[in-house]
């Protein structure tokens, strides 16, 4: 089986809001697994079966990126109209033992993407019906990760090499993704206005190549305000570590090369161990920033704009209560309780 061409997936994701795979490189294995389970191992979205020529989303002449017609192959089971049963849901759990492990959240996102692709294929009459009918397969079920405290974040910022300190701080207080940070250029940083413009990102491919991209959605292309307290750190970093020129990357390695997730991961893991919080993910910093923004009283719409989310479902994650905030609420409730208990009985009865 061949995986769907990246262009096809990206176009479909743009046309369907619920197809929200976060990282093509990390999710590719999960998508392959979902395709195999949904189609009994016989789906070929890259195009092979005769008589099933179709078109990619946005294409006027039905040609794929390589000039060949886009095709959707069908398994015999789909030709007979047999549907996927719930028994196959267990097969989607094999990500833990895959050559490149992936988790249930990645599987759920990949399933939603595949469902959206095949739903469009069904609407275009390329296939008779959408075979993605596994109940609950698109639902994300994962334990909520504990939000790191600000002292922990600064401990990691102090533990990483100094050239990466601002990377940690902007990921937290700007709630920026890894690809948005490594694709950030000098010309998109406005220290006077204390804002960062997210208009370019960088994706890292399986074979190690780096590909410049634009944000995945219209919401991802945004301007993010940063605390004024970060300006001195930002100016100091740009003077010493950023690549030269207006188009110079803000974050580069010691030799001036663009940052790669694979090369940065050992540095990150070591810093987390030194800070006493092993197991912290770099993406957790974005969650910290989103949660802090929600704690300031930001509305759901404001959170969506700041985080670059096009769906309320994603932004609502950050409106959960942090432990510190929950304790503050409990303390306030305790104060009200003490106030009621201290009032005379006759005064307490007046409000009834």
Q: pLDDT by residue (tens digit) across 228-250?
A: 999 999 999 999 999 999 999 99
Q: What is the pLDDT of residue 80?
A: 32
What is the sign, positive or negative, of the torsion defined by CA atoms of 311, 314, 316, 318?
A: negative
Rounded CA-CA distance 42/12 in Å is: 21
Question: Residues 85-107: pLDDT tens digits?
Answer: 444 556 666 676 776 677 777 88
Mean pLDDT of 274-288: 94
Judged by phi (left if over 0) then psi (alpha if -120 to 50, else beta), residue 3 lies in beta
* Opening angle at CA 84, ends 69 and 88, nearest 5: 115
Judged by phi (left if over 0) then psi (alpha if -120 to 50, else beta), residue 320 lies in beta
Q: For the whole model, what pTM was predicted? A: 0.62
Q: Please compute Rg for the chain using Cα positions.
A: 24
Rounded CA-CA distance 203/261 in Å is: 10
Rounded CA-CA distance 215/198 in Å is: 8
Question: Residues 13-60: pLDDT tens digits?
Answer: 333 333 333 344 444 455 555 555 544 443 444 333 333 333 333 333
- Tell me, rounded to whole angstroms, the distance of Cα 90 from its chain centroid: 25
The domains of the chain are located at 6-123, 150-312
Superfamily of domain 150-312: Intergrase catalytic core (1.10.443.10)
Q: What is the DSSP letter of 243?
A: P
Residues in the chain: 352
Would you tell me how many other CB atoms lie within 10 Å of the CB of residue 203? 19
Strands (E), the chain: 53-54, 70-71, 189-190, 195-198, 201-204, 210-213, 222-225
For the annotated catalytic residues, the residue numbers are: 177, 283, 286, 309, 318
Question: Residues 115-170: pLDDT tens digits?
Answer: 999 999 999 999 999 988 888 787 776 666 778 899 999 999 999 999 999 999 99
């Amino acid at each position: 089986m061949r995986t769907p061409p990246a262009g096809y997936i990206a176009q479909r994701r743009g046309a369907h809001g619920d197809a929200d795979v976060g990282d093509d490189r990390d999710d590719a294995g999960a998508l392959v697994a979902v395709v195999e389970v949904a189609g009994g191992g016989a789906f070929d979205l890259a195009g092979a079966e005769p008589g099933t020529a179709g078109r990619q989303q946005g294409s006027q002449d039905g040609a794929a990126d390589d000039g060949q017609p886009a095709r959707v192959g069908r398994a015999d089971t789909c030709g007979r109209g047999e549907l996927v049963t719930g028994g196959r849901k267990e097969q989607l759990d094999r990500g833990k033992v895959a050559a490149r492990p992936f988790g249930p959240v990645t599987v759920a996102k990949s399933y939603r993407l595949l469902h959206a692709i095949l739903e469009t294929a069904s609407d275009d009459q390329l296939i008779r019906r959408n075979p993605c009918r596994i109940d609950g397969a698109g639902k994300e079920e994962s334990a909520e990760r504990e939000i790191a405290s600000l002292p922990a974040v600064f401990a990691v910022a102090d533990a990483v090499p100094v050239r990466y300190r601002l990377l940690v701080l902007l990921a937290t207080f700007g709630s920026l993704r890894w690809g948005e940070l490594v694709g950030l250029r000098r010309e998109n940083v406005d220290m006077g206005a204390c804002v960062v413009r997210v208009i370019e990102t960088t994706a890292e491919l399986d074979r190690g190549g780096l590909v410049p991209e634009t944000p995945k959605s219209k919401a991802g292309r945004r301007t993010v305000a940063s605390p004024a307290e970060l300006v001195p750190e930002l100016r100091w970093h740009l003077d010493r570590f950023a690549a030269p020129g207006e188009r110079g990357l803000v974050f580069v390695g010691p030799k001036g090369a663009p940052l790669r997730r694979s090369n940065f991961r050992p540095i990150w893991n070591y810093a987390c161990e030194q800070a006493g919080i092993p197991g912290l993910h770099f993406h957790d910093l974005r969650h910290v920033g989103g949660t802090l923004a929600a704690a300031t009283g930001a509305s759901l719409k404001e959170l969506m704009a700041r985080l670059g989310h096009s769906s309320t479902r994603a932004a609502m994650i950050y409106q959960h209560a942090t432990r510190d905030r929950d304790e503050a609420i409990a303390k306030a409730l305790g104060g009200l309780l003490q106030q009621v208990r201290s009032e005379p009985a006759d005064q307490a009865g007046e409000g009834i």
